[in-house]
Amino acid sequence: MLVSRRSQMFPVSCALVLLAALAHAAPADEGSERMRALLADIARRAPEENVYTGDAQVKALRAQVEDPRAAAVPALHWRRLRALAVHELRVGETAAAVRHLEEATGLVPKLGRAVPQADVDAAQLELAVAYLRWGEDRNCVARHTSESCIVPIGPSGVHTDQEGSRRGIAVLQEILARQPDHLVARWLLNIASMTVGEYPDGVPEAWRIPAAAFAGGEPSGRFSDVAAASGVQTRDLGGGVAVEDYDGDGVLDLVVSSTNPQSPLRYFAGRGDGKFRERSDAAGFAGLLGGGNVVQADYDGDGDVDLLVLRGAWLGRSGRHPKSLLRNDGKGTFTDVTFASGLGEVHYPSQTAAFADYDGDGDLDLYVGNEGEENFRFPSQLFRNDGDGTFTDVAAQAGVAGGLLVKGVAWLDHDGDGRPDLYVSNYNEPNRLYRNRGDGTFAEVGAAAGVTLPIASHAVVTGDFDGDGRTDLFVGATTPLHRPQAHGTKVDPLSPLTAYVAGTLRLPTSAEAETARLYRNLGDGRFEDATRAFGLDRVLLTGGIGVGDVNADGFLDLYVGTAWNGYEGLLPNVLYVNRGGKRFADVTASAGLGHLQKDGGIVIADLDADGDEDVFVNTGGMFGGDAFGDVLFANPGGGGNWLDLKLVGRGANRSAIGARIRVTVLEDGKPREIHRVVGAGTSFGANPLRQRIGLGTARRAETVEVTWPGSGRTQTVRHLDVGRLAVAREDGDRPSE
């Protein structure tokens, strides 16, 4: 009341300054209630305003379809039925969508030349996809098994209720009879035939995809989905995930978010035996709704890992939702301190952020990549940590506020000068690399460094992929925006999918889509595009990306998630195992990791404490009807030896983010170095900050050398045994258990 009365007495500009100042100084408990009220209001308005989860368009289209005047004009009624069905699918009204598309199909003989044949063909594919989605709902969702939606689909993944798939197969065969070169229809036909147990023999030879396309690649131990048994199979839309020991019991926990603005943040406490128990309310998450991504760090240096939740991604000006900074009390209980910390003064849509000590003062700063539109250029934000629990946005002064639609950010010391530089992945414009000058400002050097692609850029992963001690970049590529074409030519909305299938089948095509990029750090400020050399030059349409060492050989592997907003995008995720820092091998089929559903954040960590790294995927799309259960793929084991290293900064930031680790081992009698940098590793899905270091066949680490950020001080410890967690403190001499 005091604020509103006083603000009426001041000019508007003075009132805004006062409100901002009061928000910056708001007590944590008052700020928590303010945040919950804001999020509750967003959830209340979502049905009308959110284009992904709301039903306002469905209601409007239903009214149009029910208008008897439209039914008198077949072409108009056909278009409205089709539009309604598409939106019904998006909100999860699958049976209604099927019914309306069937009605639209019955009108086709009456259309004559009023509707182009290309539109009729597109509607027929929509009907096939609706049937397939109907089958998924009745089987993969309602009768989920550990093999559901994993390509190639095994016996327990075959649908029990086959009506949806069989109807879809019939329509896809009709499409291919007229258009034998329709690669998307061909792909879907083969996937659908797997769901009824009739692949490959049940697929006509002319349209059959060779088994090698699904089951090829190199051998690997087979992972198994244990999410249900572990207690983490939450069914929701995609979002973020962050893994850490939040409650200080030595066991890794999971925090999972959803882009659904009506869904709560969830906390799963690890029990140490591969099982988890949900304690979201006890963690203080009640009322903390929505979240496109979650990142973690000890921002206040008290020894407990805190959380940042990002919201509003892909919603443009409608996504001006607040982010949440959640302070951990050390027992896995969190308080929302967004407004008290200074992070809540303005709200921009975002799904990506990263912590680092860019100014070398010993505390963690924060970069948030925001998403604008042509007429709403929301700047990104660089929050300097003021050392007292508050932040100040200095992006404009530092020269890093640019970018239109930021989808990934990562800190890395790209030029080896000891200062963290900033990589920003921009959707539909060149990516940027900001070199840290060391005086609080940055110089943009992306073009000179050779790292501006892909244009349809997405999540970013950092790591030493070739084993030379320098940090490399892997940048995902997603679905491109459709630009207007010259001379009235029409853009094929399925072109990227067609390019994906053509690339998978190694067929020529005029369809275009970008590949992800692997940039190898040359050590002189420049990068080499090593995508083709490492076997990654394949269209994947990436979503989240996981980085880790699944076979503990000391070389970082990649689990690449796929994401295509439409339901026709049934594309399997891919596991690439690093072969000696020289190339990546696709082991997806033998590993059992070709999951078809869309995904958000991905983490790779030892979640069952059995000595090997597992894969957790926050699964689901953004449309309300595209929810799916999260998956946890348990590693079958059989890999190399390993060492866990947790670093605790003193002069450096407490999380030791940015610390460089060099491990030397004797493997088969030969010396070898393994390099890591402390950080989450990826801009979409946060691995634990303690580092799992695979040692291959080595029986011990001969030396472990830590170079601390800021001071550049180096500590060296000799002879650490494998299979243990060692804690190294900046002011200590030897790691402790």
CB 599 within 8 A of CB 544: yes
User: Model pTM greater than 0.75?
Assistant: yes
Number of CB atoms found within 10 A of residue 472's CB: 23
Beta strands 557-562 and 574-579: pairing type? antiparallel
CA–chain centroid gap for 655, Å, is 23
36 φ/ψ angles, rounded to the nearest 5 degrees: -60, -35
CB 242 within 8 A of CB 255: yes
Q: Which run of H or of E encompasses 574?
A: strand 574-579
Nearest CA among 426, 468, 428 for reference residue 444: 426
CA neighbours within 13 Å on the CB side: how many for 591? 26
pLDDT at 75: 95
CB 513 within 8 A of CB 534: no
pLDDT at 512: 86
CB 304 within 8 A of CB 315: no
pLDDT at 565: 87
pLDDT at 7: 31
Nearest CA among 259, 233, 54, 53 for reference residue 140: 233
121-157: per-residue pLDDT in tens? 999 999 999 999 999 999 999 998 888 999 999 999 9
The tokens describing 60, both together, are: 């409007």
pLDDT at 325: 98
Q: Which run of H or of E encompasses 628?
A: strand 628-629
pLDDT at 217: 87
Distance CA 697, CA 204 (A): 48
CB 309 within 8 A of CB 291: yes
Nearest CA among 361, 368, 369, 353 for reference residue 386: 361
Phi-psi domain of 681 (left: phi exceeds 0; alpha: psi -120 through 50; beta: other) = left
Distance CA 645, CA 726 (A): 5
557-612: per-residue pLDDT in tens? 999 999 898 999 999 999 999 999 999 999 999 999 999 999 999 999 999 999 99
Which residues of the chain fall below pLDDT 50? 1-26, 484-488
Average pLDDT of the chain, as a whole number:
93
Distance CA 729, CA 377 (A): 43
Nearest CA among 135, 140, 134, 53 for reference residue 100: 134
pLDDT at 481: 63
610-629: per-residue pLDDT in tens? 999 999 999 999 999 999 99
pLDDT at 413: 97
State the DSSP string of 348-383: --EEEEEEE-TT-SSS-EEEEEEB-BTTB-PPPEEE
∠ Cα 51 57 58 (to 5°)? 120
Q: How many residues in total does the chain contain?
A: 737
610 φ/ψ angles, rounded to the nearest 5 degrees: -105, 5
CB 310 within 8 A of CB 294: yes
Give me the residues paired with residue 602 across strands. 617
